[in-house]
Chains A and B, each alone.
Chain A
Amino acid sequence: MNGTPKPPLVAVVVFPGSNDDGDAAHALQGLGAEARLVWHADTELPPGTGGVVLPGGFSYGDYLRCGAIARLTPVMDAVRALADDGAPVLGICNGFQILCESGLLPGVLRPNRQLQFVCEDTVVRVESTSTRFTAACGLGDELVIPVKHGEGSWYADDETVHELETSNRVVLRYATDVNGSVGAIAGVANGPGNVLGLMPHPEHAVDPLLGPTGGVPILRGLVDAARDRMPMLV
C-alpha cells in the first residue's frame, strides 16, 4: 500500500431499463468515490461496498407500477441488508419509486397531476438536516436540481405525512408545485436517515459547465457516509 486512503466504494445498481447509472457513477467518481456498476441479478454487492445508489430510468419498462418489478430483483435483498446495517442508500427518481415499492421508504409515486412529463430545473428546499445526505446543508437551503419524470407525484395518507413531517423525515420540498406531490414533497428519508429517496436528479447537477450544482451536497453526503463506514469494513 502506498499510504493513500482508498476511496469509498459506492455501488450503482443497474436494472434493465436504468438510464442514469452512468451519470450517477460519473458524478460519484468526481466526488471522490469509487463507483461500481452492479447488475440487478447479482445476489451480493461488491465486498467493501459502503453505499448504494438506485439510479433513475424505467426499470422493467415501468410494467405494472414504477418500481414494482425491480424491487423483487436479487440485488435488492443485498441492498436492504446494507440499508438495515446503516449504510447510505440513495434512490433517485426510478430509484425512489423502487424504494417506496420495496417498503424501505413510505408512500408511492403517482402520475404527475398535470398529466405531463416534467423536465426542468427545480428549486428544492432542505427541510431536514438529520440525514447523512443533508448533514452539510443548512435548514432552508435552496438547491437547484433538475427533475425529469412522468410519475413523480409523491403520495401518502394524512397520518403518514404527519408522522414524517414531525420526525424530520421530509427532507426536500419543492419551492413550487412541480407535480402535485402531497405537501410539495420532493424527497423523504427512513427513520434513521440513512435511506433517502428523491425525484430530482442530483447526479445531473454536479458540474457548473453543464448547469446548476445543487446535487453536489447530497451526493457528497452519501460519499462521506460511505467513507465513514470504511474502518468498520476492515
Chain B
Amino acid sequence: MKAVVLVRPKEGILDPQGQAVEESLRKLGFPVSAARVGRVVDLQLDVSDPSEAKAQVERMCGELLANPLIESVEIELEPT
C-alpha cells in the first residue's frame, strides 16, 4: 500500500514558517490571512491489508514522523 502522511503544526502552536510564508504571499499581492506550513511524507509499504498498514503508519508517526507535542498527523492510504 501507499501511505501519505500529512504532518501539520497543531492548532494554536506558533508557526513562524507559516507566518513568513503568509507575509511573503501578501507582499506578492495575494489576499492571504493565514498560512500554516507542514510536511508530507510519502511511504511505500510492503503491506496489503489496510488496517495493518494504518496501524503501522500510526506507530511510525508516534515514534518518529511527528512530535505529538506540537504536530498533528493525517494519514491517507491508497492501494498500489
Contacts and interface: CB of A to CB of B under 8 A. Distances in A.
Contacts, number: 32
Interface in A95-114: 101, 107-108, 110-114
B20 A155 contact: no
B16 A115 contact: yes
Contacts of B17: 111, 115
B78 to A, nearest CB: 23
A115 B67 CA distance: 20
A155 B70 contact: yes
Interface size class of A (residues with CB under 8 A): 10 to 19
A110 B14 CA distance: 9
A65 interface: yes
Contact of B64 (A64, A107, A115): A64
Contacts of B64: 64, 68, 72
Given A64-B64, A68-B64, A111 B16 contact: yes
Interface string B9-25: 00001101101100000
A156 B16 contact: no
A7 B70 CA distance: 42
A113 B14 contact: yes
Nearest to B68: A108
Interface residues of B, number: 11
Q: Is the interface of B mostly helix, strand, loop or mixed?
A: helix
Contact of A108 (B16, B19, B20, B70): B70
Interface string B37-80: 00000000000000000000000000011010110000000000
Contacts of A155: 13, 69-70
A68 B14 CA distance: 20
B9 to A, nearest CB: 9
Given A112-B16, A155-B70, 11 more contacts: A64-B64, A68-B64, A68-B67, A108-B67, A110-B13, A114-B16, A115-B17, A115-B19, A153-B14, A155-B69, A157-B69
7 contacts: A68-B64, A107-B69, A108-B69, A108-B70, A110-B14, A115-B20, A180-B14
